[in-house]
Amino acid sequence: MKLLEDRIKRDGTVLPGEVLKVDNFLNHQVDPQLMFELGAEFKRLFENEGVTRILTVESSGIAPALMAGYQMHVPVVFARKHRSLTLTDDLYTARVYSYTKQVNNDISIDKRFIKPNDKILIIDDFLANGQAVEGMLEIAKAAKVDVVGVGVVIEKRFQKGHQLVLDAGIHLEALASIASLDNNQVVFANSAE
């Protein structure tokens, strides 16, 4: 998506450890107009999948997921992060290793917010090694619901997550796909230009 690639070129910075910092429009300060456009693009890409609910993880997935849900007229549920694993009968829980924070988080969703016939669209800000998406897939599996798509704002295609989602046979869309961050330069794969 050209609008997003241009914004990454303008405002993104590359940090050590192959981390792209985009905290002035996505991960800290959030640009609502841009999020609205991202939501419209997610709708265009997934509108034939029969999505009934969007699933994301707090906190950075919420803004794009909310806009996708707004455009698609479906509810948005965000998995909450817990410091300790408090398994109760009312929660679906998965353990997720955070790429940027290098800690394990237990993410959970109240069982009231996933229904048996749901068709889930997973949305997240980044796809790196795929741990966050794997956690959400685990929750969907436990809830016995279909995942009809994974939509991410930015994927780092050179890391494992991209292949992991494809290997699971799931429709994957990334609004910007980064082929490399070598030498602190952002190189897009299949640039929208």
Report which residue type is found at 45: L
Instruction: Mark residues 43-82: x for contact with ligand 5GP by CB under 6 A, - for none.
Output: -----------------x----------------------
**What is the smallest separation between the CB atom of 59 and ligand 5GP, expressed in angstroms?**
9
> Which of 122, 125, 123 is closest to 4 using CA atoms?
125
Rank residues 8 and 74 by Cβ distance to ligand 5GP and give the closer one: 8
Among 127, 140, 150, 165, binds ligand 5GP (CB under 6 A): 127
Among 106, 118, 124, 173, binds ligand 5GP (CB under 6 A): 124
Report which residue type is found at 183: N
Output the CA torsion sign for 175, 179, 184, 186: negative
Long-range contacts of residues 21-29, Cβ cutoff 8 Å, at least 24 apart = 22/154, 26/60, 26/63, 26/64, 26/125, 26/153, 26/154, 27/60, 27/125
Q: Give the C-alpha separation, 92 to 85, whole Å.
A: 11
Using CB under 6 A as the binding rule, whether residue 27 contacts ligand 5GP is answered as: yes
Structure tokens at 35: 């999020």
- The annotation status of 159 as a binding-site residue, yes or no, is no
For ligand 5GP, which stretch binds (CB under 6 A), given 15-23, 77-85, 108-116, 165-173?
15-23
Strand partners, 78: 56
| DSSP 8-state code for residue 186 | -
For ligand 5GP, which stretch binds (CB under 6 A), given 18-26, 85-93, 114-122, 168-176?
18-26
- The annotation status of 24 as a binding-site residue, yes or no, is no
Using CB under 6 A as the binding rule, whether residue 125 contacts ligand 5GP is answered as: yes
Using CB under 6 A as the binding rule, whether residue 174 contacts ligand 5GP is answered as: no
Binding residues for ligand 5GP (CB under 6 A): 19-22, 27, 60, 99-100, 124-132, 156, 161
